[in-house]
Amino acid sequence: MSSVVLCTNVRRDGDLSYTARVKAMLEADGHRVTVSPICGEPEGPASFPTAELERALEGADLLVTLGGDGTILRIAPQIMRHEVPLVGVNLGHVGFLTELDRDSAGLLRQAAAGEYRLVPRMMLDVEIRRNGERVFFDTALNDAVISGLVQNVHLTALGDGKQILNFSGDGVIVSSPTGSTAYSMAAGGPLVEPGAEAIVLTPICAHMLAARSFVLSPERTITVLPADVSEGRRCVLSADGRGMTDLMDGDRVIVTKSGYRLLMAELGTKSFYEAAFEKLGGRA
């Protein structure tokens, strides 16, 4: 018997009816199941007890997210400290991090029995240094995006203190291999296998012909310096899309490989390549 946590995004399963079916299925196999709703309150009282995610993760053997990729990105900084394997069921639109869909949730019985391949996903620590002090810190599974609002911005990107890019444009994306299939790819960056370790630096709409995406060592310290920032020319930082933080002239956005990893429980339903072509566009 294992201890399984169902983390339900109530925006996708408001009345917890789908959650209840998954819970009953796993309990019928003898597993102990705890439900932790996030992103709001369920519609009406649940027919079973629920628990805060932080408390539910104590002693858990498996975490199942019921929602979409955004659900995983939202909770990644919280669950990484527990090192509980995660598998996602997609109840939203196209999901790349969620391996299962609504109709294939029966495979969760396999996951709860421990029949999966554990794939650690590299994460990124993101901070803002202002006048020598840290004023912002977060850990991202996908990416850190430094971008202008309305107008373009001037940015310098450094690797271990050496200049990589200096350009004006819409911004720059610093992504993990997991994030390489998201905004970075849309901006022209490469796809990197999720189990790999690398940092991908991708400019967004750069006003420079030579601006290209770089795949860098995971040990690099990436520093992004915004310039000519003012009230009328805002530049912001967003880590995994969790809000925006305004940057100022003289700020240093520093991105490094995190000491934490997200543990994904992969069931082998599709290879990375099959998933990429299926979810991001068919083969030519």
CB 121 within 8 A of CB 214: no
Phi, psi angle pair for 67, to nearest 5°: 175, -105
Residues annotated as catalytic (active site), given as ranges: 69
Instruction: Tell me which residue has tokens 């196999």.
Output: 29
> Tokens at residue 241, please?
């899309």
SS3 176: coil
160-78-201 Cα angle (round to 5): 30
Residue 77 parent element (H or E): helix 69-79
CA–CA gap between residue 50 and residue 47 (Å, rounded)? 9
SS3 229: coil
Radius of gyration of the chain (CA): 20
Indicate the DSSP class of residue 36: E
> Tokens at residue 125, please?
């620590």
> Tokens at residue 236, please?
């912001």
Beta bridge partners of 224: 157, 253
Indicate the DSSP class of residue 98: -
Any residues with CB less than 8 A from the CB of 243 and at least 6 apart, and which? none
Any residues with CB less than 8 A from the CB of 120 and at least 6 apart, and which? 195, 261, 262, 263, 264
Nearest to 214 by CA among 227, 228, 204, 200: 200
